[in-house]
Structure 1
Amino acid sequence: MDWWLIWLIVAGVLFVVEMLTLTFYLLWLGIGALAAALVDVIFPGAVLLEVIVGCIVALLLTIFTKPLTRRIQTGRGFKDAVDDLIGMRGTVIEDISPEAPGIVKVGGDTWSATSTEPIGKGESVIVVSRGSAFLEVNKWGG
């Protein structure tokens, strides 16, 4: 398989995942992969050059568009989809303890979750906040 095709597949996967996350970082990596594919078309077989060009393009886009993405994400009307989960009820799929995260089902999706108290499988919870990788939940008292 040609390297340009591999780079296009990588770029396509990164673009699809970016559409699901809306972080902009994967978008820049995808554009870097497209740049690597272009380098392979011009200089076939120069894999090291392709990787270097792809990394430089992604790094430059990340550095120079950081103010733009920050302005978009803090602008009026922007709301992260995960923020909508706060206040929603869910069900514990895998036990949660203060020492180890578990898994909860909220709104039809499964999420990693932490809690300050042990919560067993099958119990109802409410989402109280979100971290960078986990939802913070408490037992549902209602």
Structure 2
Amino acid sequence: MSYYIWLIFGVIAFVIEMMIPTFFALFAGVGFLAAAAVSFFLPESLFWQLIIASVFMIIGAVVFKKRGMGDDTQDSVGTHNEFVGIKGVATTELSAHQEGEVSLYEPVLGGRHWPAVSVDGVIEVNAEIRIVKLNGNSLIVEKI
């Protein structure tokens, strides 16, 4: 197979990787580019081109998995857990069963005032709080 066909496959794989960032197409693209290099130097050896493409794809996937690059358990920016740890002050009394309001020191999604409930116990007015998690449109907070 001609080297430019392998290059076209490689470019298509990289474009797919940019549109769907799963790292699946990245390894295919690297394998296709390696096969293009083999095809450039050995244009009549389709067997070796396929072997090299397969080996590079498999090695890329194995190294990626061994390093645990896709196993990140932290939430990325844009998810609700990025707000965990932000501090503020209770503007009304809060409890686990009674929703109140808190004022945050830094705005979350453009607002400083949010409805909130306590993780456990009562939180008095003007007590300093920290976001533990988000439940719908309400913050779940703890007293610091």
Query: TM-score scaled to structure 2, two decimals?
Result: 0.49
> In proportion to residue count, which structure has more helix?
1
Which one has a bigger Cα radius of gyration?
A: 2
